[in-house]
Amino acid sequence: MRRLGTFWTNVWALAYREALVLRHDTAFITTVVAQPIMMVVLFGWVLSNEPVDVPWAVLDRSGTAVSRRLVDDVVATGYFLPPARVTSYAAGRALLVRQDALALLVVPEDYRRDVERGRVRVQLLLDGSDPLTSARVGGYVVRVAARVGAGRAGPVGIRQRFFFNPTLDDHAFFLTVLAGTLLTNFCLSATALSLVGEREEGTYEQVLSLPTSWIEIVLGKMVPYLVVAHVLASMGVLAAGLIFGIWPLGSWLALAAVTLPFVLASLAIGVFISAIARTSAQAVFVAVFFIMPSFVLSGVMLPYQLMPEGVREVGGLVPLRWYQIALRRIISRGGGLGDVLGPLLALLVLFGVLLAAIRWRMRPRLG
């Protein structure tokens, strides 16, 4: 207990020292305030996306050559991956909830007879949390179904139903992950200069002379930024709610719980960059080099389900990938803590791996 008390005393002492430095950094405070405003403008009015390699599912209750032709023609458009076959309505909806599919096509038992009578009717369930993609996906299926029924009298009837965003508000797709983009940019930019800045200013030796371990130094560097990051996340959620009316439908407790490991993992990336960089310019370059792929590969700009195989798996190494999954499950789908246990565990594992990497890099300097 005495050793544990000493550990946290050292951490809070280093955190207090770091907080004093941040308090007098006017440029840093200005950036923290201005960043949410800029991101709300970009994510609320500028960004959009287009579907490709759409994952979808099929519930074929007809099981005829005509229904198989419909499915084959949808795949032949080039926009869709081969469908996941489900045997029940509930199984198809489960794929939508887990984001393993963006659309569920339900072909009725009497589909062949309906085609012959010129009354082509199918049901299409769509994930409306990405409204632009969902609308286009629905349009593609309508056109394919129209071709199947071509040459026969009567209209093509497709019942479309959008889940999680029934009004197809395009802002919802981007604003639900606003907190994640803000925190990624902030955490990596802020902590990437922490250790390398100490070395350039000649104060790093003073830190090493303190009776502290490497983990105490790392956590002490993180604590002030951890507090600021949670304030920034709150600003992002409140801005999306107050300006656009997009409030979390799920548990606020789950949102706070998954934010902590994400911030820790993101801060750890910044500290690791600072540990390997020799100058501040190098640290800034590496941080920017990591920030941009994080936005692209994580799924905040383009649904990660639409990414090519291989690239999709690489994105799993980015903390923002797991945080945006958790954000969309909580904010758009009304999820709770049980729905984000997978992303939360993945973030904790990434944080542990990053701590090991930091220890490996700092050990020669602390010996």
CB 189 within 8 A of CB 32: no
Structural domain contains residue 334? yes
Q: What are phi and psi of 269, to 5 degrees?
A: -60, -45
pLDDT score, position 46: 42
Encode 270-298: b = buried (16+ Cβ within 10 Å), e = exposed: bbbbbbebeebeebbebbeebbeebbebb
Residues 71 and 20 occupy one common structural domain:
no
In whole angstroms, what is the distance from residue 133 CA to residue 168 CA? 10
Q: What was the pLDDT predicted at 367?
A: 41
First to last CA, the chain: 25
Same domain? For 90 and 150 the reply is: yes
Whether residues 219 and 316 share a domain: the answer is yes
Instruction: Provide the residue-wise pLDDT of the chain in tens; the chain has 367 residues.
Output: 767 777 777 777 777 777 776 676 665 566 566 666 665 654 555 444 556 678 889 999 888 888 888 888 888 887 888 999 998 988 988 888 777 888 888 888 888 887 777 777 788 888 776 666 677 777 777 777 776 655 443 444 555 566 666 655 666 777 888 889 889 888 888 787 776 766 666 666 566 666 667 777 778 778 888 888 888 888 888 988 888 888 888 899 999 999 999 999 998 898 888 877 777 767 777 777 788 778 878 888 777 766 767 777 888 888 999 999 999 889 888 888 988 999 999 999 999 999 888 888 765 444 4
- Looking at 121, 141, 168, the residue that finishes a domain is 168
- Residue 216 domain-assigned (yes or no): yes
Residue 366 lies in a domain: no
Q: Are residues 133 and 265 in the same domain?
A: no
Range of 153's domain? 56-168
322 and 217 part of one domain: yes
Considering 168, 203, 234, which residue would you say is the last residue of a domain?
168
| pTM for this prediction | 0.62
Domain count, the chain: 2
Residues 102 and 213 in one domain: no
How many angstroms separate the CA atoms of 271 and 318, rounded?
16
Does any domain span residue 268? yes
- How confident is the model at residue 44, as a pLDDT? 54
- 178 part of a folded domain: yes
The answer to whether position 367 is within a domain reads: no
Same-domain pairing of 233 and 106 = no
Note whether 306 and 189 are same-domain residues: yes
How far CA 212 is from CA of 135, 163, 192, 216, 268, in Å, comes to: 57, 52, 21, 6, 18
| Domain containing residue 124: CATH number | 3.40.1710.10
